[in-house]
A and B are shown apart, each in its own frame.
Chain A
Amino acid sequence: MMEHQASPILDLLIEQCAKDIVDTHARFGDATVVVKSASLLEVMETLRDGRGFEFDMLMDLTAVDYLGQTPRFEMVYHLYSVAKNHRLRVKARVPRIEATDSSFNGHEFVIASVSKIWPAANWLEREVWDMYGIHFQGHPDPRRLLLYEEFEGHPLRKDYPKEKRQPLIGPRN
């Protein structure tokens, strides 16, 4: 499970949040931790405020569609600490909500929003909703970011055909 070469951040995190961690690695020198989606916010708060972490910047946030795997989507967060000049990648698989469960307004893929921890996540999570259709629970403004509201589907999903066109207005004759 623990394949990492001398990453003090990972050691410290394993010490403090061992029960929330699924996996760690530091391939290509990128310290990476995979956490349980249920404890995402808890771990993120520790990472922002905890001694030795101080990740004050959420550099990037995106999702990857592993079509065919369960759970299908993985959230990827890249954290940076201006104070400590170190980085960490946090990943979490997005749980799938059963169709019978109506507590998330019919959303199929739901994960907690980190926009309360880092406001930078606001637009980035909107982009992920736009492109992958992952709903962020507790997001203050859950609109699409880049595409228009009438757009159907989520184009970065692997099962969305690249050739598919849905222009808002038709071509000029």
Chain B
Amino acid sequence: MQSISGLANTSFQALDADLSKDLHTQHQILNMGPSHPATHGTVKFLIELDGESVVGLDVQVGYLHRGFEKECESGTWYQAIPYTDRLNYNSAVLCNLGYCMAVEKLLEIETPERCQWLRVVASELARLADHLTRCGAACLELQAMTPFLYGIEARELTWDLLEMLCGARVTSNYVRIGGVKHGMPTNFVAQCRENFARIRELLKDFDDVILRNRIFVDRMRNTGVIGKNELIRYAVTGPLLRAAGVPFDLRKDQPYLVYDQIDFDVPVGEIGDNYDRFLVCEEEMIQSMRIVEQCLDRLQRLGPGPVDVDNYKVRWPAKGRVFNRMEELIQQFKSVTEGPKVAAGEAYFAVESANGELGFYLVSDGSEVPYKVRCRPPSLINLQPLPLMVRGAYLADIIPTFDMINMIGGECDR
């Protein structure tokens, strides 16, 4: 017995020595994407793997590039608005809003109060839809089908409201330079309250199913973490930054529209892992509904009235007058064929989109065509530190991290 065990020991020792001496290992290169079922968004990851751990990651974007800026430089100021819809198709209104308010800044016009409250309603509905997509899809990609369906039902209800208000569900094209497309339909307020009641139920079910689910928590907790100083160095904004404990929200810090008159909270996380990001988005949905309800109260008190600036050079006159009066007909004709002339100058305006700071830097040479339309895309900028977030982590951690970054190809690649 003794001799056998002695023999066994020696041979194992020899084997151990062999393993450490001769075992040849090399890193594996893995191509993930550009169209991978577990990443919603067209992006390619070139991953260097040591076993299952990520050693290096090269994120390659651009698959959805379609020349947004070049197209904007060839139409009128108005004709760029539908292109902004296609930037972030989850929250198109926010992109409309950022662009139109940047043009308004150049034109130095202020929109009527009713318009401003309506814009907040539309933006918060868009934010709600965006966060529902983000959280729902994150569950789906971690193999949790049920919460995804709850999220999508809630998103359908949100899109129903957006459709009532804007006339379209996804590419809503609602905000105009100097106003909005039209005011609220009569039964909108009642429908909103009804849908919100159902969305709140769905969100509760959503939370009950997923938040204490062991698999979900294991994959979200402590994954994708980088410190807040690093996030700031990479100019990451939005829920990602707030989840790391920095309460930076343009709606509070540099309020635009009527956000300074609205009572709402900015949720922040502690360590900035994927779980914190998820919780921040969940809470922002609740806050968005709270904001919309306050806006509806105010809009009901304001009653019917104009939603556009009274400036025919910017916003065309009401149809009743166009059809009956010569002067207004000419104004509408000029407005459609040429659109507003914007005085030469430059302006930057940013709104808090669902992903962070969505900014537009516009340069005008004084004509009716923009000289330069630059969109600061939060999706692109938030995606940049992804290699830092997953360095040394498992390959599988890329999925929840990428989900919570919520890169939208249309906005990232423009």
- Choose among A29, A60, A147, A155 the residue with the greatest number of B CB atoms under 10 Å from its CB: A60
Q: Are B234 and A147 in contact, CB atoms less than 8 angstroms apart?
A: no
Residues in A50-107 with C-beta less than 8 Å from chain B = 56-60, 62, 64-65, 76, 78, 82, 85, 87, 89
- Choose among B254, B361, B414 the residue with the greatest number of A CB atoms under 10 Å from its CB: B361
Q: Is the interface of A mostly helix, strand, loop or mixed?
A: mixed
User: Which residue of B is nearest A60, CB measured?
Assistant: B376
Across the interface, A59 reaches (CB within 8 A) one of B357, B380, B384, namely B357
Across the interface, A147 reaches (CB within 8 A) one of B62, B69, B253, B361, namely B62
**Which residues of chain B are within 8 angstroms of A119 by Cβ–Cβ distance?**
233-234, 384-385
**Contact (A60, B361) CB under 8 Å given A30-B347, A89-B348:** yes
In the complex, A113 has a CB within 8 A of chain B: no
Q: Are A82 and B376 in contact, CB atoms less than 8 angstroms apart?
A: no
Q: Are B348 and A123 in contact, CB atoms less than 8 angstroms apart?
A: no
In the complex, B65 has a CB within 8 A of chain A: yes
User: Which residue of A is nearest B236, CB measured?
Assistant: A120
In the complex, B209 has a CB within 8 A of chain A: no
Measured between C-beta atoms, what is the minimum distance from B281 to chain A in Å?
21
Q: Are B359 and A64 in contact, CB atoms less than 8 angstroms apart?
A: no
Q: Mark B372-414, 1 if CB is under 8 A from A, else 0.
A: 1010100011001100000000000000000000000000011
**Which residues of chain B are within 8 angstroms of A46 by Cβ–Cβ distance?**
none
**Which residues of chain B are within 8 angstroms of A19 by Cβ–Cβ distance?**
none
Q: Is the interface of B mostly helix, strand, loop or mixed?
A: mixed
In the complex, A110 has a CB within 8 A of chain B: no
In the complex, B105 has a CB within 8 A of chain A: yes
**Contact (A147, B65) CB under 8 Å given A60-B359, A78-B359:** yes
Complex-state Cα separation, A156 to B67, whole angstroms: 8
**Which residues of chain A are within 8 angstroms of B413 by Cβ–Cβ distance?**
146
**Which residues of chain A are within 8 angstroms of B385 by Cβ–Cβ distance?**
119
**Which residues of chain A are within 8 angstroms of B357 by Cβ–Cβ distance?**
59
**Which residues of chain B are within 8 angstroms of A172 by Cβ–Cβ distance?**
none
Q: Are A27 and B345 in contact, CB atoms less than 8 angstroms apart?
A: yes
Q: Mark B345-376, 1 if CB is under 8 A from A, else 0.
A: 11110100000010101010000000110101
Q: Are A62 and B65 in contact, CB atoms less than 8 angstroms apart?
A: no
**Which residues of chain A are within 8 angstroms of B35 by Cβ–Cβ distance?**
none
Measured between C-beta atoms, what is the minimum distance from A157 to chain B in Å?
10
**Contact (A123, B67) CB under 8 Å given A30-B347, A78-B348, A82-B232:** no
In the complex, B170 has a CB within 8 A of chain A: no
**Which residues of chain B are within 8 angstroms of A32 by Cβ–Cβ distance?**
346
User: Which residue of B is nearest A48, CB measured?
Assistant: B233
Complex-state Cα separation, A127 to B383, whole angstroms: 14
Measured between C-beta atoms, what is the minimum distance from B221 to chain A in Å?
26
User: Which residue of A is nearest B74, CB measured?
Assistant: A162
User: Which residue of A is nearest B383, CB measured?
Assistant: A123
Q: Are A58 and B235 in contact, CB atoms less than 8 angstroms apart?
A: yes
Across the interface, A64 reaches (CB within 8 A) one of B253, B363, B381, namely B363
Complex-state Cα separation, A56 to B231, whole angstroms: 10
Complex-state Cα separation, A82 to B345, whole angstroms: 27
**Which residues of chain A are within 8 angstroms of B381 by Cβ–Cβ distance?**
120, 123-124
In the complex, B106 has a CB within 8 A of chain A: yes
Residues in A144-171 with C-beta less than 8 Å from chain B = 144-148, 155-156, 160, 162
Q: Are A60 and B233 in contact, CB atoms less than 8 angstroms apart?
A: no
User: Which residue of A is nearest B232, CB measured?
Assistant: A56
Measured between C-beta atoms, what is the minimum distance from A80 to chain B in Å?
8
**Which residues of chain B are within 8 angstroms of A60 by Cβ–Cβ distance?**
348, 359, 361, 374, 376
**Contact (A146, B65) CB under 8 Å given A30-B348, A60-B374:** yes
Q: Mark A136-148, 1 if CB is under 8 A from B, else 0.
A: 0000000011111
Q: Mark B115-153, 1 if CB is under 8 A from A, else 0.
A: 000000000000000000000000000000000000000
**Contact (A28, B105) CB under 8 Å given A118-B235, A120-B233:** yes
Q: Are B70 and A156 in contact, CB atoms less than 8 angstroms apart?
A: yes
Complex-state Cα separation, A147 to B380, whole angstroms: 14
